[in-house]
Amino acid sequence: MSMKLPYYLGKYELTLKLAEGGMAEIYLARYRVQDHFQKDFAIKLISPKLSEDPSIVPMLIDEANIQSRLSHDNIVKIFELGVIDQPGPLFFLVMEYVKGINLAEFIRKMKAGYSIPTAYKIYIVHEILKGLQYAHSRRDETGIPLQIVHRDISPQNILLSYEGRVKIADFGIARARLEFRKTATTQCQTLKGKYAYMSPEQAKGSPFLDHRSDLFSTGAIFFELLTGLRAFDGENDLEILDKVREGKFNRDALCSVEPELKTIIEKSLMTDSAVRYSTASEFSEDLWKFMCSKSLHVTDQGLGSLLSVPEFENSFSAKVVQQKTDLSDTEIKEPDVSTPSNISHEEDEVSPVTCERKRYFLYVGIMTASCLAVFLWSHSIRIRPEPIRLKPVVKKEMQLVKQGALSVVSDIWAHAKIGELTEELETPFHIVLNAGAHSVRLWRYEGERRFSLELTVTVEPEKQLRCYAVFQKNPPKMACN
């Protein structure tokens, strides 16, 4: 779809095209209330051709309703599903705007030779799994699991903000796009998606996918981040699909990967979903244990600093400049300065009168400054103020607040709260706290039943305290060392 920018879509002003795909285009949009308030959004426009498809529109609406219930730091938020007549129905989604790059661009920079520490790669996958765990375990108002499956976890759908946030995108459209549906003309199944990141059951055309399919796709991303190669690759799509269905990933590329991480990848890429990771929390827990064993610590601020280097920011800037160039409606011609006839020197000439005025004001200024200096000097001689007696200053040592670290891991994903901190956490987590005693409270739900643990721990200065909670025992227990 092509349109001249800026373009007004109801209350939103579309200013820049950010991305374009086979189904939709994504634009940077601005919502403005006169000069009092403005906010940027990302708007995905569905092409009129697909909006008229009777099988796509209901799925889009259903999935938009589901994703609008997802409120998590690692998931791109959807604010509105809209439709306008132009002249046919034009559907669009109003989403959170994430300024940064997607994981596919990140991997391209990595393959081009940009050195990225392994800890950051693990952190990115860990954040993806946090978002998936939240989505997979989401329930409706009556407590029934929504059984959300993304179905298109791939580098293109993972966004990395320049603030270091990792966010999963395309929940709603991806599911509608990856459905196996029968058309009225061919009566055959159509498989859509990114073949290199599909699970074997998805590649085989199974209509009964569960959350373990997303975990397989995450494992394929982790493989590519660590090795720089795709887990499943081939000369064409058919060859890639065959390898995915048979689970034949490139095991030779894992030779340079640490044994613990190699084991994690192999478990996530198991062809049989029954022996794969059962939950995203279980997957992320193994990653967290590896990070703790190697004393690796990464924060979103650290990832943001990594993404703020010119190698990454230039990719975003180049995209913006290219879009502005492509969408410009006015041809701008630079002035021809090659010939002297195009340059006027009349205004450069200074008259003698102007020079005389400058000399006069300079003379007056110097005389005035001299008189003022003499007056102040003579006044200081006649009136000598009494010397000010200063009291001795007692130096006080700055009291530095000593801090330590607390890491909490649980056998099953759980909510967490530390003392009086207002922020609610999720296991596993790593947090820096002031040295001293802190109350750690964990809880989780199974249907209507609530299981909770509470323990007071002591964080020592410049040391890391590790705690492990077990909910699958009766009663649940938590220990620290």
Q: Which entry of 53, 73, 152, 252 is annotated as an active-site residue?
A: 152
pLDDT tens by residue, 24-50? 788 999 988 777 788 999 998 876 567
Tokens representing residue 419 in the block: 């003392």
Q: Is residue 128 part of a domain?
A: yes
Task: Identify any residues that bridge with 89 across adjacent strands, giving them in sequence order.
Answer: 85
Tell me if 335 is assigned to some domain.
Answer: no
Q: Per residue in 45-65, pLDDT tens?
A: 876 567 667 766 666 677 677
What is the domain count for the chain? 3
- C-alpha Rg value of the chain to the nearest Å: 31
pTM: predicted TM-score of the whole model, two decimal places: 0.65
Which of 204, 211, 201 minimizes the C-alpha distance to 189?
204
Both 38 and 122 in one domain: the answer is no
Of the three residues 82, 97, 112, the one that is the final residue of a domain is 97
Q: What integer best gives the mean pLDDT of the chain?
A: 79
Q: What is the 3-state secondary structure (H, E, C) of the chain?
A: CCCCCCEEECCEEEEEEEEECCCEEEEEEEEEECCCEEEEEEEEEECHHHHCCCCHHHHHHHHHHHHCCCCCCCECCEEEEEEEECCCEEEEEEEECCCEEEHHHHHHHHHCCCCCCHHHHHHHHHHHHHHHHHHHCCECCCCCECCCCCCCCCHHHEEEECCCCEEECCHHHHHHHCCCCECCCCCCECCCCCHHHCCHHHHCCCCCCCHHHHHHHHHHHHHHHHHCCCCCCCCCHHHHHHHHHHCCCCHHHHHHCCHHHHHHHHHHCCCCHHHCCCCHHHHHHHHHHHHHHCCCCCCHHHHHHHHCCHHHHHHHHHHHHHHHHHCCCCCCCCCCCCCHHHCCCHHHCCCHHHHHHHHHHHHHHHHHHHHHHHHHHHHHHHCCCCCCCCCCCCCCCCCCCCEEEEEEEECCCCEEEECCCCCCEECCEEEEEECEEEEEEEEEEECCEEEEEEEEEEECCCCEEEEEEECCCCCCEEEEC
| Position 11 in a domain | yes
Contact 156, 102 (CB under 8 A): yes
Rounded to an integer, the average pLDDT of 406-422 is 81
Last residue of a domain, one of 299, 321, 343: 321
The verdict on residue 468 lying in a domain is: yes
- Examine the domain organization and report whether 245 and 287 are in the same domain: yes
Percent of the chain surpassing pLDDT 90: 36
Q: Which residue has the higher pLDDT, 52 or 156?
A: 156
pLDDT tens-digit series, residues 183-239: 333 334 455 568 999 999 999 988 888 999 999 999 999 999 999 999 999 999 999
More confident residue, 457 or 49: 457
**Does 392 fall in a domain?**
no
**Pair (136, 168) in one structural domain:** yes
11 and 114 assigned to the same domain: no
- 152 tagged catalytic: yes
Q: What is the CATH number of the domain that holds 411?
A: 2.60.40
Q: Per the domain annotation, does 53 fall within a domain? A: yes
41 and 118 inside one domain: no
Nearest to 298 by CA among 62, 119, 475: 119
Using 50, 70 and 90 to split pLDDT, how confident is the model at 320?
Answer: very low
Residues 161 and 246 occupy one common structural domain: yes
Residue 375 corresponds to which tokens in the numbers above? 């007056």
- Which is nearest to 303 in space by CA: 109, 431, 164, 166? 164
Identify the pLDDT of residue 443: 85
The Cα–Cα gap between 237 and 127 comes to: 29
Which CATH number covers residue 34?
A: 3.30.200.20
Report the CATH number at residue 279.
1.10.510.10
Report if residue 463 sits inside a domain. yes
**Do 39 and 133 belong to one domain?**
no
Task: Please tell me the predicted confidence (pLDDT) of residue 252.
Answer: 94
Summarize the confidence of residues 457-468 as an average pLDDT.
Answer: 87
Question: In terms of domains, do 264 and 297 share one?
Answer: yes
Alpha carbon of 69 to those of 139, 427, 447: distances in Å?
A: 10, 21, 19
Residues 28 and 146 in one domain: no
Specify the pLDDT at position 35.
Answer: 74
Inside any domain, residue 451 = yes
Give the burial class of 218: count Cβ atoms within 10 A of its Cβ; 0-12 exposed, 13-18 middle, 19 or more buried: buried
Largest Cα–Cα separation, the chain: 108
> Whose CA is closest to 290, among 153, 430, 134?
430
Same domain (yes/no): 305, 195 = yes
pLDDT at 9 over 80: yes
- Give the residue numbers spanning the domain of 295: 100-180+191-321
**Residue at a domain's end among 56, 72, 97:** 97
Let me know whether 314 and 205 are in one domain.
yes
Under a CB-based contact definition with an 8 Å cutoff, are residues 300 and 164 in contact? yes
Under the phi-then-psi rule, with left for phi > 0, alpha for psi from -120 to 50, and beta for the rest, what region is 187? left
CA distance 208 to 80: 29
- Is 153 in the same domain as 15? no
Specify the range with the lowest mean pLDDT, choosing from 113-127, 302-316, 406-420, 460-474.
Answer: 302-316
* d(C-alpha 160, C-alpha 127), whole Å: 11
Q: Which of 200, 72, 180 is nearest to 136 (CA)?
A: 72
Residues 102, 161 contacting (CB under 8 angstroms): no
- What residue type is 431 in one-letter code? I
